[in-house]
Amino acid sequence: MEEIFISFLKDKVNLIENELDKAISEYKTSPLFPAISYSLKGGGKRIRPVLLLASYSSFKDDVEKALPVSVSIELIHTYSLIHDDLPAIDNADTRRGRASLHKVFGEDIAILAGDALLTLSFENLAKVTSFNEKIVLRCIRELSINIGINGMVGGQVMDVMTTPQDATEEVLYYIHSKKTGSLMKTAIKIGGILSEIDDEVLNKLESFGDKIGLTYQILDDIEDSKNSKEDESKVTFPKLFGMEKSKEIATNLLNESLSVIESVSLKNDLLKSFIYYLKSWIS
């Protein structure tokens, strides 16, 4: 069952890479370009923009129309990684097996490159012409709310303010839902907004996105824990619940997300397949 998503992912990655190139092409002569390019071309899986396309494809056929919008999601993801890696936050020297941006270009350039990509994400959205103004504006509203103070940034704030010693279950759920979950949920929800589905279906899509976003981060923590790549200063599901219980929580969330998505009428099994894709990580 997971093959459907994997083949969609493989199929769409090149389109997204090309669209990312287009989004930054007019800035090629900027002294910031090498830093931006280094970060964007860091070998990300492009899961988030692909989820937006998968969500859109669950209701509509012309997936290329949604490509420019999906790029804005990846720009946000990249900015968040750059700022997360900074010495004052996670102090990560590496990212995806390469030196982190500030290690190569300096902290000042890393801060500014993050600011630039966050800004570019909105510029890119505001320039979309394949959807009407009302829809584009709704996407901007949705994105900005979910990556802001009560969304992704809020999760990161809670993360830096929390030590594993004083972390409660509630705080752990909050951090993971917001820090990672918010952007994945938004990607999926924006796919629905672009498809102009009604609010009832959109709410289900949001609930599905919430659950799989949280699961994605739990599975990432489990993976890091297995490979002894855990950051000691960070609170994680395996640290708080142990490995087996963490897997059980993830499995339950995936089962819940399956019932949600099975209650929606979709053109194909793409989103369902994503659930099985995540399930295959749990072993």
What's the closest the beta carbon of residue 147 comes to a second copy, in angstroms?
6
E strands, 107-234, are none
Longest Cα–Cα distance of the chain, Å, equals 51
Nearer to a second copy, 1 or 137 (CB): 137
Q: Cβ of 166: how many Cβ atoms within 10 Å?
A: 9
108 binds a second copy (CB under 8 A): yes
111 binds a second copy (CB under 8 A): yes
Nearer to a second copy, 45 or 134 (CB): 134
What's the closest the beta carbon of residue 145 comes to a second copy, in angstroms?
6
Residue whose C-alpha is closest to residue 212's, from 191, 232, 243, 226: 191
What's the closest the beta carbon of residue 271 comes to a second copy, in angstroms?
26
Mapping DSSP to helix (H, G, I), strand (E, B) and coil, where does residue 198 land? coil
Only one of the segments 61-69, 104-112, 202-210, 275-283 lies at the binding site for a second copy (rule: CB under 8 A); that segment is 104-112
Nearer to a second copy, 151 or 238 (CB): 151
Among the listed residues 11, 14, 126, 248, the single contact to a second copy using CB under 8 A: 126
What is the distance between the alpha carbons of residues 243 and 266, in angstroms, rounded to a whole number? 34
Nearer to a second copy, 146 or 257 (CB): 146
**DSSP, res 177:** I
Q: Cβ of 157: how many Cβ atoms within 10 Å?
A: 14
Burial 240-273 (b: 16+ CB within 10 A, else e): bbeeeebbebbeebbebbbebbeebebeeebbbb
- Check: CB of residue 223 under 8 Å from CB of residue 87: no
Residues 43-102 that bind a second copy (CB under 8 A): 79, 83, 86, 88-89
Residues 142-181 that bind a second copy (CB under 8 A): 144-145, 147-150, 153-154, 156-158, 160-161
In the complex, the residues that contact a second copy under the rule CB under 8 A are: 27, 30-33, 36, 79, 83, 86, 88-89, 106-109, 111-112, 114-116, 118-120, 122-123, 125-127, 133-134, 136-137, 140-141, 144-145, 147-150, 153-154, 156-158, 160-161
